[in-house]
Structure 1
Amino acid sequence: MIYTITFNPSLDYVMKVKDFEEGKTNRSYQETIYPGGKGFNVSTILQCLGLENTALGFIAGFTGKEIEDQLKKRGFNLDLCVLDEGISRINVKMKSTKETEINGNGPNINNIKLDELLSKLDYLNNGDILILAGSIPSSLPDNIYETIMKRLILKKIKVIVDATGELLLNVLSYRPFLIKPNHHELEELFKTKINNQEEIIFYAKKLKEQGAINVLISLGKDGALLISEDNHVYFCNSAKGELINSVGSGDSMVAGFIAGYLKNKSYQEAIHLGSACGGATAFSDDLAKKEMIDKVYQQINVEVIE
């Protein structure tokens, strides 16, 4: 079974405003509300690709109930912890000539509820896959990813970590199966400017030396690079298309990578399908549908650089 965790989900309220003027009353011409959270995005794409999975996480209040109701329509399994107080956050995303976001803080998660979530992880079995994605709410300890990976260390579980900065660096010693920094996050990790593909590969290999089993680097319109478990370097170009939506593109890539890998344990197929899913979401109004994923898949190719 594949599991995802979303620690701080949201209701994302997207408003499109023609010409936003600061300090004045502005009226939107289109609004959309949908459940947000990196783990939920991964679960959605996995379900789209025909892979059964279970989403774990925390919800609270009337917004949490709406998140749950909308997620049920997506078809994957839900095993959410319901908090006794507060409400799941609302993130406001305004799209005009520029995009502006105001993200909520989210409800307090106490130790009792955290233990409830952690106890669910004890039921994971050898061979299961767990995706840890996104930032950590302020009410949880900064080392929660490490706590989870340490808790599971005796089980043969593939853990994917899609995080940034210290949150990512601190889990490398636990040998995550996959990490997925993008070009700019790689620069931030090593506090340096990375100018070309050779330097990207050099620093990605350093993350592998520190413990990551597979390192997938998202390069946006320039494609993606994978330094795999067997020490090969794969490059996948990106498809041509209009960027419509960057939200969830990285999560879609993670889901596609997992689905591609599980087909026949091929890393070439993993980066191919992962890149297709990431590109398909970027070319869609929302998370990608299977038809768009298949279309993008046919437009891109993978080559072995090393």
Structure 2
Amino acid sequence: MVDVFTKLPVAVLSLNPAVDITYEIPQLIADQKVHALESRYDPGGNGINVGRGLKRLGVQACTFCVVAGEIGRFLRHQLDAQLDQVSYLEVDGETRINGTILESITGAQFEVSGVGPTVSSTQRDHLLDRFVTHCGDGLGIITGSLQRSLPTDLYAEAVRRVRAAGGRAVVDSHDELLRNAIDAQPFLIKPNRFELEALVGRSLTDERDIIREARRLQERGVTWVCVSLGGEGALLVTSSSVLKGEAPSVPVASTVGAGDSMVAGMAALLAQGASAEDALREGIACSAATVMQPGTELFDKEMVDRLRGEVSVTPLGYGFSSGS
């Protein structure tokens, strides 16, 4: 169980946050206006979701984010109400708006990601300095997309700086951002199965295949590799073990934020020095509790407490010991 006392400082980097708008409609019809059954506005972006998740788990964390324009002011209003500590960098332009459409008739989900504001190299370096300073010897969580103006090796730079300061970097991204970050040897990465397949350039047909590729990433310097598998749970490969976490069966309202919730759950336990098994269990419980929520809403802490006991974590063989 998560304690409100956090042993290590936790910093979250969110360079491209958003305001998330979710519409529930009967069904999309081409060239016709569709009236929403429900709509909601939430602070969004992967890093923001992780920060919100940590707050709900009682973890004191500081979220470092970029805001711009009128949408940025609206986002600040939301974040000030939902997070304990936020460090803002204001730039020109407008904070992006992301859209999610949920079809009640078909159960289909559509997502559109907006375009964020331009961030200069000077502004980027200023925010990164603040992020690394706050992280110290704790956890630096680096996640989400980047504005087009920012280089794809930025997360690698962030990982190196966190490590140089004595901290541990947690990275949840994809494509070139993730590929470059891996070269900098973060402590934990959390690709989903699709992202891992894109990273290695081939389909991964079974559990052994996924574990084999995770071990190869570990050999390149990543300490923990967690591969999320949706409703099937997740695999966590450490230096001494392979753990399989089975997700509890829950009704799915929306999958938005499930991966971010898993990162928040695992980071919350890492900050307290918990075992790999407990960290994986917490991450899966948070993810399962989030998919039960509408739109981009995240988990309810009471539901996480209920689901935690339903998450089965089993050490697998594959030539490794059962330790964490």
Give the TM interval when normalised to the shorter protein: over 0.9
Q: 1:252 corresponds to which residue?
A: 261
Equivalent in 301, 313, 320 of residue 290 of structure 1: 301
Cα distance in 2 for residues equivalent to 1:258 and 1:63: 29
Asked if the contact 1:261/1:269 (under 8 Å) is kept, the reply is: no
Q: Which secondary structure state, in structure 1, belongs to the residue aligned with residue 287 of structure 2?
A: helix
> Unaligned regions of 5+ residues in structure 2, if any?
1-8, 318-324
Q: CA deviation at 1:122?
A: 4.8
Q: CA deviation at 1:40?
A: 0.9
Name which structure has the greater RCO, CA cutoff 8 Å, separation 6+: 2
Structure 1's 153 and 49: CA in aligned 2 closer, same or farther, altered over 3 A? Answer: closer
Q: CA deviation at 1:188?
A: 1.3
Spell out the pairing of 1:140-151 with structure 2 (5 A cutoff): 140-151=150-161
Q: Does 1:210 align with 2:220?
A: yes
Cα distance in 2 for residues equivalent to 1:122 and 1:257: 20
Q: Does 1:238 align with 2:252?
A: no
> Unaligned regions of 5+ residues in structure 1, if any?
none
Segment drifting more, 103-112 vs 31-40: 103-112
Structure 1's 158 and 300: CA in aligned 2 closer, same or farther, altered over 3 A? Answer: same
Q: CA deviation at 1:154?
A: 2.2
Normalising by structure 2, report the TM-score: 0.90
Question: Deviation string for 1:261-299 (max 9, x for gaps)?
Answer: 334431111111111111111122220011111111111
Q: CA deviation at 1:259?
A: 1.7
Q: Does 1:266 align with 2:272?
A: no
Cα distance in 2 for residues equivalent to 1:151 and 1:270: 24
Structure 1's 34 and 122: CA in aligned 2 closer, same or farther, altered over 3 A? Answer: closer
Cα distance in 1 for residues equivalent to 2:207 and 2:175: 21
Residue type at the aligned position of 2:122: I
Q: 2:123 corresponds to which residue?
A: 113
Asked if the contact 2:243/2:316 (under 8 Å) is kept, the reply is: yes
Segment drifting more, 139-148 vs 199-208: 139-148
Q: CA deviation at 1:186?
A: 1.4
Q: CA deviation at 1:205?
A: 0.5
Q: CA deviation at 1:183?
A: 1.3
Cα distance in 1 for residues equivalent to 2:250 and 2:192: 20
Q: 1:93 corresponds to which residue?
A: 100
Asked if the contact 1:260/1:272 (under 8 Å) is kept, the reply is: no
Segment drifting more, 273-282 vs 186-195: 186-195
Cα distance in 2 for residues equivalent to 1:41 and 1:264: 22
Question: Deviation string for 1:221-253 (max 9, x for gaps)?
Answer: 11111001x320111111011111211111110
Residue type at the aligned position of 2:291: A
Structure 1's 135 and 125: CA in aligned 2 closer, same or farther, altered over 3 A? Answer: closer
| RMSD of aligned alpha carbons | 1.5
Q: 1:199 corresponds to which residue?
A: 209
Q: Does 1:281 align with 2:284?
A: no
Percent of residue pairs bearing the same amino acid type: 30
Spell out the pairing of 1:57-206 with structure 2 (5 A cutoff): 57-83=65-91, 85-96=92-103, 97=106, 98-124=108-134, 126-206=136-216
Cα distance in 1 for residues equivalent to 2:37 and 2:139: 42
Query: How many matched pairs?
Result: 304
Residue type at the aligned position of 1:255: A
Cα distance in 1 for residues equivalent to 2:32 and 2:273: 57
Q: Does 1:39 align with 2:50?
A: no
Q: Which secondary structure state, in structure 2, belongs to the residue aligned with residue 171 of structure 1?
A: helix
Asked if the contact 1:55/1:76 (under 8 Å) is kept, the reply is: no
Asked if the contact 2:132/2:140 (under 8 Å) is kept, the reply is: no
Asked if the contact 2:182/2:222 (under 8 Å) is kept, the reply is: yes
Structure 1's 220 and 102: CA in aligned 2 closer, same or farther, altered over 3 A? Answer: closer
